[in-house]
Amino acid sequence: METNESHESRAIYETLKRKRVSDSHWWRVKKAAATAGIPLDREGLTQLIRLQKISPRFCYSALEEQTRKQEAPAVRDMFGHELRKLIMGDMGIRCHRSTFGKWFHRLNVSFNAKTLYSKTTASLVILQAIIYGRKNT
């Protein structure tokens, strides 16, 4: 039986998606959020919806893998050049610079090496890099 808090979270999620979701869909969303440590509040659910738009097929499995293996370091606010160095250097994911720029473009943000990106934006870009690395290895 769902708690009142879970009902509220589900209502927020359905409002953000602009449609009703099945019980099994909601169960998968809650499981993925719990695995990744994402809170079931408006901000956390918005982040999950963005991830679904980026890569619906790989969203949940990439979140679970990233959390289990802790591939990505602790994400914080980062400058563009730090993010590029982290992904292409430390994580060893090689891609063309246009691909790197597309990861930002999908989030409606343009890439600039001197720009400070929020923790949310940095984590979404890192997740896209992990998905890209999985698909292309």
Tell me what the pLDDT averaged over the chain comes to: 81
Point out the least confidently predicted range of 10-24, 25-39, 48-62, 82-96: 48-62
Query: Tens digits of per-residue pLDDT, 100-125?
Result: 999 998 888 899 999 999 887 888 88
pTM: 0.60
Whole-number pLDDT of residue 130: 81
Point out the least confidently predicted range of 1-5, 49-53, 65-69: 65-69
The full set of domain ranges for the chain reads: 4-69, 78-135
Point out the least confidently predicted range of 29-43, 64-78, 88-102: 64-78
pLDDT band at 60 (very low <50, low <70, confident <90, very high): low
3-state SS, residue 21: coil
Task: Tell me the residue type at 11.
Answer: A
pLDDT (average), residues 21-28: 90
What whole-number distance in Å separates Cα of residue 55 and Cα of residue 127? 10
| Percent share of the chain, pLDDT over 70 | 80
Longest CA–CA span in the chain (Å) reads 49
End-to-end CA distance of the chain: 42
Is 90 in contact with 130 (CB distance < 8 Å)?
no
Phi, psi for residue 19 in degrees, rounded to 5: -165, 160
